[in-house]
Amino acid sequence: MDIILLGPPGAGKGTQAQRLVDRRGMVQLSTGDMLRAAVKAGTPVGLKAKAVMEAGELVSDAIVSALIGEHLDQSAGKGAIFDGFPRTQHQAEALDILLGERGRALSHVIELGVDEEALVERITGRFTCATCSAPYHDRFKPTKVEGTCDVCGGHEFKRRPDDNEQTVRTRMAEYRAKTAPILPYYEERGLVSRVDGMASVEEVAAQIDRILDSAR
């Protein structure tokens, strides 16, 4: 089963993808994570992507489609969760070709419906442990002891450079202008289901489970 989680920044795509990895053994393919890894490693792709990501704009279709092509076979036989990809019509068409070449096809596109203002708070408050990557949030999920990771006891934390309010608003504008318009491409094929992304993490997960378990 190959699925897309679609929604604006902070909608919960990464959170729900991780749950599907843990519970169903699917493989998360996040172009954001791939790009951040490339930036950290200082690869040619990372050098090109860094400033674009920090501005909240979209990295080129050619770069992200190539990244997905490189990683897609990791999900063979397990099912892929596309998280943050596709983000443009060109990427959507590239994904169909990449899957088709492997005799695969999308089974679901799940749109996380959200309130953008609430998302700004969700994103600007999030941080992770620099040692074990455990996720936290200033308001919704602070550490039990201030300055100490609940999981590994580490004392260093990090925030994404693109998680400031100005960049988040640019990322949302990019979503409205370039990503939301690809929905009809999938609606025509009867692939789209919507969930309430403002519900609790558990409730969103339950809605997604119902969709994936329903016979199409």
Q: Which residues in this chain contact ligand AP5 in the complex, by CB under 6 A? A: 7, 9-15, 31-32, 35, 52-53, 56-59, 64, 84-85, 87, 91, 122-123, 126, 135, 137, 140, 162, 171, 200-201, 204
Q: What angle do CA 95, 175, 200 make, to 5 degrees?
A: 95
User: Which residues neighbour 153 within 8 Å (Cβ) at sequence distance 6 or greater?
Assistant: none
Q: Residue 6: what are its φ and ψ, rounded to 5°?
A: -120, 135
Instruction: State the residue number with the nearest CB to ligand AP5.
Output: 32
| DSSP structure string for 92-128 | HHHHHHHHHHTT--EEEEEEEE--HHHHHHHHHTEEE
Active site annotation includes 171: yes
Q: Provide the token pair at 4.
A: 């897309």
Active site annotation includes 102: no
Which residue lies nearer to ligand AP5 by CB, 58 or 191? 58
Active site annotation includes 126: yes
Give the residue ranges of the annotated binding site for ATP.
10-15, 126, 199
Kindly name the residue from 24, 141, 160, 178 that is annotated as catalytic: 160
Which residue lies nearer to ligand AP5 by CB, 56 or 81? 56
Which residue lies nearer to ligand AP5 by CB, 192 or 199? 199
Distance from C-alpha of 78 to C-alpha of 3, rounded to nearest angstrom: 11
Q: Catalytic residue numbers? A: 13, 87, 126, 160, 171
